[in-house]
């Protein structure tokens, strides 16, 4: 039995409870969605003996590109015959997506068993009951499942920042920073230097630290030097070059030529290979080539319809929006139509600015979640960005994703390209109606 903020007591789910009931419970027992710090989650992990996994552990931090980098490392390792566990967040449709083993989502039963063990550990008799946030509970569930299944490799995607993120209770064998930009300012700071230092908190003394960010803040390198991390940095220790419809990776162990262009971002592909070549130098070029080329991840420039071409992408900050705009240019001169929904705590104005010259027509939707931004506010941001533009900008507002898509469907041709983006919630909501 736990008490949350008030006088109302909440009971743990019964033995026969399903996953949905467990998730509702986890959302209700902690007063805040996000609470930075490692003390509470470390204590519960110790009670469950989860701090030392029987696997090689890679922790991946970064403003953008964490999920795709994990997906490509995972794909290569599977090609090389290794067993792989991945913990990532958030999920798009099903919570099970957060924990996968050998590229398959874990079952409801595995998650319920993990939740049950965590609940017992955090509320042991004769010990202080420990409150856990939803993310901390989810992270411990992933670790519990990996401890039980013992994959060769575990990839941990950081949820927020790095230094105080729940994934950082594990001393990883190697750590990665994919990219650094300003996001989640209320938690990580409002400069790239502050954000970088938080992300560098995943680095470990004398262990591999792969940096895929080309413009790395000095705070990252300063901290790496302070703890004598083994830095492996893009454009210094490894590099990549586009050559027509192929690309090349060069690292300290040599070069890999004529690589097939990946479906996922090239910069993250290079970072993934850097991790592979430094951690598992015995893995063959064939496994790397095939693994990178065949890696996929839902919601990352994913094409979900052919005619018209409909793409979905979870881009929700300026850094990701800039990359998205660059990728959409390949479809010009086709008309680009955007269906966009965002959250209140994101820099909507900056995101729309990055796509302003690429998108021809906008369909804004409100998101029916607590942090959802209403469509009128998005339209106002777009109007402000185009205040001095003499050409009228086409923008429409809707109360729901379903309404927005109905309008898009009624006004597009087979030659148009539709991009659905702005939030995990937007992509998830759209996937349910397509």
Q: Are residues 290 and 308 in the same domain?
A: no
pLDDT, average across residues 88-97? 96
Q: Are residues 279 and 418 in the same domain?
A: no
User: Cα(first)–Cα(last) distance of the chain, in Å?
Assistant: 41
pLDDT tops 70 at residue 269: yes
Does the residue 6 lie in any domain?
A: no
Q: Which pLDDT score is estimated for 339?
A: 98
Give the CATH number for residue 345: 3.90.190.20
Does the residue 5 lie in any domain?
A: no
Q: What is the pLDDT of residues 333-379, one digit of tens each?
A: 999 999 999 999 999 999 999 999 999 999 999 999 989 999 999 99
* Cβ–Cβ under 8 Å, residues 382 and 352: yes
Q: Are residues 174 and 234 in the same domain?
A: yes
Q: What is the pLDDT of residues 45-60, one digit of tens each?
A: 999 999 999 999 999 9
Q: Which pLDDT score is estimated for 147?
A: 98
Q: Are residues 244 and 369 in the same domain?
A: no
Q: What does pTM read for this prediction? A: 0.93
* % of the chain exceeding 70 in pLDDT: 96
* Cβ–Cβ under 8 Å, residues 122 and 24: no
Q: How far apart are CA 26 and CA 136, in angstroms?
A: 10
Does the residue 7 lie in any domain?
A: no
Q: Which pLDDT score is estimated for 187?
A: 65
Label residue 390 by pLDDT band (50, 70, 90): low
Q: Which of 276, 294, 312 is the last residue of a domain?
A: 294
Does the residue 2 lie in any domain?
A: no
Q: What is the pLDDT of residues 125-175, one digit of tens each?
A: 778 889 999 999 999 999 999 999 999 999 999 998 889 999 999 999 999
Q: Which pLDDT score is estimated for 33?
A: 65
Q: Which pLDDT score is estimated for 36?
A: 75
Label residue 112 by pLDDT band (50, 70, 90): very high
Q: Are residues 255 and 331 in the same domain?
A: no
How many structural domains are present in the chain?
Answer: 2
Label residue 4 by pLDDT band (50, 70, 90): very low
Q: Are residues 316 and 250 in the same domain?
A: no
The residues pairing with 417 across neighbouring beta strands, listed in sequence order, are: 309, 336
pLDDT, average across residues 271-294? 98
Label residue 185 by pLDDT band (50, 70, 90): low
Q: Are residues 225 and 330 in the same domain?
A: no
Q: Are residues 238 and 340 in the same domain?
A: no
* Cβ–Cβ under 8 Å, residues 170 and 53: yes
Q: Are residues 289 and 357 in the same domain?
A: no
Q: Are residues 240 and 326 in the same domain?
A: no
Q: Are residues 56 and 141 in the same domain?
A: yes
Q: Which of 236, 262, 294 is the last residue of a domain?
A: 294
Average pLDDT of the residues of the chain: 93
Q: Are residues 278 and 307 in the same domain?
A: no
Does the residue 8 lie in any domain?
A: no
Dump the DSSP string for 279-346: H-TTS-HHHHHHHHHH---TTSSEEEETTTEEEEE---SHHHHHHHHHHHGGGTTSPEEEEE--BTTS
Sign of the CA dihedral running 376, 377, 381, 383: positive
pLDDT tops 50 at residue 2: no
Q: What is the pLDDT of residues 57-85, one digit of tens each?
A: 999 999 999 999 999 999 999 999 999 99
Q: Which of 236, 266, 294 is the last residue of a domain?
A: 294
Does the residue 288 lie in any domain?
A: yes
Q: How far apart are CA 347 and CA 352, in angstroms?
A: 9
* Cβ–Cβ under 8 Å, residues 153 and 82: yes
Give the CATH number for residue 59: 3.40.1190.10
C-alpha closest to that of 323 among 346, 355, 298, 348: 355
Q: What is the extent of the structural domain holding 306?
A: 302-433
Does the residue 407 lie in any domain?
A: yes
**Can you tell me whether residue 348 is helix, strand or coil?**
helix
Does the residue 138 lie in any domain?
A: yes
């Amino acid at each position: 039995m736990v008490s949350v903020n008030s006088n109302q007591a909440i009971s743990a789910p019964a033995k026969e409870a399903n996953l949905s009931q467990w998730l509702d419970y986890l959302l209700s027992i902690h007063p805040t969605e996000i609470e930075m710090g490692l003390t509470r989650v470390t204590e519960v992990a110790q009670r469950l003996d989860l701090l030392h996994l029987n696997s090689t552990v890679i922790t991946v931090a970064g403003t953008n590109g964490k999920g795709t980098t994990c997906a490509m490392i995972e794909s290569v390792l599977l090609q090389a015959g290794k067993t792989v566990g991945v913990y990532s967040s958030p999920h798009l449709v099903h919570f099970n997506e957060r924990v996968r083993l050998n590229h398959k989502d874990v079952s409801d039963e595995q998650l319920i068993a993990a939740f049950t063990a965590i609940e017992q550990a955090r509320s042991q008799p004769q010990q202080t009951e420990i409150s856990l946030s939803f993310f901390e509970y989810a992270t411990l569930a992933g670790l519990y499942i990996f401890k039980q299944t013992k994959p060769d490799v575990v990839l941990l995607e950081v949820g927020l920042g790095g230094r105080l993120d729940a994934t950082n209770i594990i001393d990883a064998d190697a750590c990665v920073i994919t990219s650094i930009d300003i996001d989640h300012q209320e938690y990580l700071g409002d400069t790239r230097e502050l954000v970088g230092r938080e992300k560098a908190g995943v680095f470990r003394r004398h262990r591999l630290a792969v940096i895929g960010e080309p413009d790395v803040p000095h705070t990252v390198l300063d901290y790496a030097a302070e703890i004598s991390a083994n830095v492996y940095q893009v454009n210094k220790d490894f590099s990549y070059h586009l050559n027509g419809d192929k690309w090349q990776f060069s690292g300290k162990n040599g070069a890999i030529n004529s690589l097939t262009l990946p479906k996922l971002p090239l910069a993250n592909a290079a970072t993934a290979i850097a991790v592979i070549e430094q951690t598992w130098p015995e893995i063959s070029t064939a496994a790397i080539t095939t693994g990178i080329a065949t890696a996929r991840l839902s919601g990352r420039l994913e094409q979900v319809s052919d005619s018209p071409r409909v793409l979905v992408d979870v881009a929700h900050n300026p850094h990701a929006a800039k990359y998205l705009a660059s990728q959409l240019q390949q479809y010009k001169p086709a008309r680009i139509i955007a269906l966009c929904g965002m959250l209140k705590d994101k820099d909507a104005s900056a995101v729309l600015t990055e796509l302003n010259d690429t998108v021809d027509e906008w369909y804004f939707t409100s998101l029916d979640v607590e942090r959802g931004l209403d469509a009128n506010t998005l339209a106002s941001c777009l109007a402000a960005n185009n205040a001095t533009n003499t050409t009228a900008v086409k923008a429409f507002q809707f109360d729901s994703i379903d309404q927005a898509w109905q309008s898009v469907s009624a006004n597009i041709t087979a030659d148009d390209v539709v991009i659905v983006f702005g939030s995990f919630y937007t992509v998830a909501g759209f996937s349910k109606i397509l």
